[in-house]
Amino acid sequence: MTNLGKKVLKWTLLYPLVVFVCLEIAFRIMGYSAYHNADYTILSTPKNAFIGHPEYGIQLDPGKFTILLNERVEFETTHLPNHIRYTPGSSAEKGPTVAMLGCSFTYGYGVNDDETFTAILQEHLPEFRFLNFGVPGYGTVQASMQLRTLLSAQQVETVVLHFSSMHFMRNVLSQQYRSNLKIGYQRSSKDVDAGMRVARFPYKKECNDPIRYEGWESMYTNWPGRSWLASVNAFQTFYDRTVDPEKEIEITACLIEEMAALCAEKEVRFIVACLDKTPETENLKKLVTVEWLDINFDFSSKKLTHLPHDSHPNSQGHALIAQRLENYLKQPVNAK
């Protein structure tokens, strides 16, 4: 090989490496870093308190469980054969029935069966029968699916949708939520993958589109090198933002209006209890014509949540939410 050929070969191999190193240094100077997942741990005894479902994504596995979050927050929970959480004092003889729909906040992640705001309402308002349909990870899409089944299967007088700003990204299955769900949940316990094999998560891309599904295996994957290269992390973060839908508020509004129409058809009272207040939830509030209650819960409060170990409401937080819901439910309907 001639000297010229050797130089060409050298720069052909070396130049891309030099460019890549300079690019990586530039991204780090600009403040970018490699991908870091905020890991949390979930230890369930017995295993698999939450299992995969082919339509809802996640489902409560029937049984009694002790769950330890981040090695600090322990609670006991009971899942009934119909895959809802047990509410002490709720029985078939009671009525009228109030169905509580929502995510882990409604479920009562981090507190015992008798400490959830649904259980507190049941104790304070014994003339009602409260049913807790909350499931960790659910958004408005799953709630709308639950509602259709609920209205066709049993008599219910009131439906309360407990909404959180976290539900926007769940309803469209944004890249951020996909990452949080697949990478975060997968790393929380070695038993996750086995329990989630059949899971498919529902989401919407447009208001008038049918519900779509994404399987657990294809949910999300970090690009090679993202965990140790700032440049790869920056490029994937940028890519995620470009492919995320921009209509999450509009789509959420459509879902809530659909739920309200279903309830109106059955002469069932429908209430949206908005747990947190953000610019996005305020925009949503303007787009829907439903009974709306602002709970205004402070998820940054260490007195009302399990922070710094977990951000879910603690027993004091659930008591506060219950109080605000109770005051609202006690008002005459025509006073709303």
Question: Taking residues 9-28, what's their average pLDDT?
Answer: 70
pLDDT tens for 221-264 read 999 999 998 998 898 988 888 888 789 999 999 999 999 999 99
Question: Taking residues 112-118, what's their average pLDDT?
Answer: 98
Is the pLDDT at 23 greater than 90, yes or no?
Answer: no
Lowest mean pLDDT among 13-27, 35-49, 98-112, 295-309: 13-27
Task: Please state, for a pLDDT cut of 90, what percent of the chain lies above it.
Answer: 70
Is the pLDDT at 48 greater than 70, yes or no?
Answer: yes
Report d(CA 324, CA 265) in Å as an integer: 28
Q: H/E element holding 50?
A: strand 50-53
Burial class of residue 7 in the structure, from the number of CB atoms within 10 Å of its CB (0-12 exposed, 13-18 middle, 19+ buried): exposed
Closest CA to 136 of 90, 89, 81, 85: 85
Give the confidence band of 103 by pLDDT, cuts at 50, 70, 90.
Answer: very high
Burial class of residue 246 in the structure, from the number of CB atoms within 10 Å of its CB (0-12 exposed, 13-18 middle, 19+ buried): exposed
Report d(CA 269, CA 271) in Å as an integer: 7
Report d(CA 113, CA 107) in Å as an integer: 9
Beta bridge partners of 298: none
pLDDT tens for 308-336 read 999 999 999 999 999 999 999 987 665 44
Crossing angle between the packed helical segments 315-330 and 117-124, to the nearest 10 degrees: 50
Residues 6+ apart with CB under 8 A from 254: 204, 207
pLDDT tens for 204-220 read 999 999 999 999 999 99
Is the pLDDT at 35 greater than 90, yes or no?
Answer: no
Q: What is the mean pLDDT of the chain?
A: 91
Give the confidence band of 7 by pLDDT, cuts at 50, 70, 90.
Answer: low
Q: Which fold has domain 42-335?
A: Rossmann fold (3.40.50)
Local structure of 266: helix, strand or coil: coil
Give the confidence band of 30 by pLDDT, cuts at 50, 70, 90.
Answer: confident
State the pTM of this model.
Answer: 0.90
Number of Cβ atoms within 10 Å of the Cβ of 192: 19
What pLDDT, on a 0 to 100 scale, did the predictor assign at position 41?
87
Report d(CA 182, CA 218) in Å as an integer: 9
Report d(CA 163, CA 315) in Å as an integer: 19
Q: For the chain, which residues make up each domain, given as ranges? A: 42-335
What pLDDT, on a 0 to 100 scale, did the predictor assign at position 336?
46
Per-residue buried b or exposed e for 41-59, using 16+ beta carbons within 10 Å of the residue's own CB = ebebeeebbbbbbeebbbb
pLDDT tens for 64-75 read 999 999 999 999
Is the pLDDT at 62 greater than 90, yes or no?
Answer: yes
pLDDT tens for 277-317 read 999 999 999 999 999 999 999 999 999 999 999 999 999 99
Question: Taking residues 126-146, what's their average pLDDT?
Answer: 96
Length of the chain: 336
Q: In what order do the strands lie in the sheet with 269-274?
A: 129-132, 97-101, 158-163, 269-274, 291-294
Question: Taking residues 1-24, what's their average pLDDT?
Answer: 64
Pairing of strands 212-215, 129-132: unpaired
Under a CB-based contact definition with an 8 Å cutoff, are residues 182 and 220 in contact?
yes
What pLDDT, on a 0 to 100 scale, did the predictor assign at position 192?
82
Is the pLDDT at 111 greater than 60, yes or no?
Answer: yes
What pLDDT, on a 0 to 100 scale, did the predictor assign at position 158?
96
Is the pLDDT at 15 greater than 80, yes or no?
Answer: no
Per-residue buried b or exposed e for 108-135, using 16+ beta carbons within 10 Å of the residue's own CB = bbbbbbbbbbbbbbbeebeebbbbbbbb
Lowest mean pLDDT among 163-172, 180-189, 231-240: 180-189
Local structure of 252: helix, strand or coil: helix
Distance of CA 188 to the CA centre of its chain: 15
